[in-house]
Amino acid sequence: MGAIINSINQLLNRTGKNTKIPVLLYHNFVTDSSTVPSYNLDYTCTPSQFEENMTTLLNNGYHVISFLQLYNAVKKRDKLPAKPMIITLDDGLIGQYNYAFPIIKKLNIHAGAFIVPDWLGKTTDDGTYFTWPQANEMKKSGYIDILSHSMKHMHYLGVPINQFVSDTAESFSIINQKIGAYPIEVYAYPYGNYNIQMVQALKKSGVSIQVMDLGVDTFEKINLSNVRRLNIPINYTGEQIMQEINNE
């Protein structure tokens, strides 16, 4: 009888195979989008838009989870909440610290920030990036996980595979030294560019989750070595995000 009860409990604790797991992708955050070049608007969000997106999704039953929760659900059969979703912030731009981070704390949700160690604390033609102390503050808050978006944000398809693996390992090493290790290694490909040799090499090196393509995965079909995301452009509403999730 005990064995039967245990089997029933295991079934009840499994996440439904058709459960969709949207991973939302945000880049830059600005208060005035009129200052942003038109070619960057697909990668820009205002604080008011971000708060509207999050509030709408939360009010419609979505629950924010982390990559670690996703990993444990796939590998250890941990149960996920109803309508799980993951929030990601790419590149480490200062607007994420100035605008997204306070909203994330206000709403008591969670996000994964994919950073480029070589860019932190610098200003380039593409913008200004938050500093290591700011990254450490976000990590210590418990609201933001600091993850790898490569060492230099290169088009790694054009370099030898050993250089790609070495640069990736260096990015994790620096993050670990500066602010401490995340329980699993999670990597987002720059520009979404990759090939099967790169994926296999990172998997062999111990990277637990790789993020690259666009779309929405179901729990049954999710591949932790090819997790897909939805890019959220300027002026996109929470309703539009839900429609896109439902259409996938």
- Residue-wise pLDDT for 110-126, tens only, equals 999 999 999 999 999 88
pLDDT for res 39: 87
pLDDT for res 80: 96
Question: How far apart are the C-alpha atoms of 41 and 163, rounded to whole Å?
Answer: 32
Specify the amino acid at residue 180: G
> Domain total for the chain?
1
Question: How far apart are the C-alpha atoms of 19 and 81, rounded to whole Å?
Answer: 10
Q: Is residue 226 within 8 Å of residue 208, measured between CB atoms?
A: no
| pLDDT-flagged residues of the chain (< 70) | 1-14
Question: How far apart are the C-alpha atoms of 151 and 170, rounded to whole Å?
Answer: 7
pLDDT for res 103: 98
What is the DSSP code (8-state) at residue 192? G
pLDDT tens-digit map of 50-98: 999 999 999 999 999 999 999 999 999 999 999 999 999 999 999 999 9
CATH number at residue 55: 3.20.20.370
Q: What DSSP string describes 90-123?
A: EETBHHIIIIIHHHHHHHT--EEEEE-TTTTT-E
Domain assignment of residue 97, given as a range: 2-247
Residue 205 contacts by C-beta under 8 Å, 6 or more apart in sequence?
Answer: 165, 168, 169
What's the predicted TM-score (pTM) here?
Answer: 0.92
pLDDT for res 9: 41
pLDDT for res 14: 56
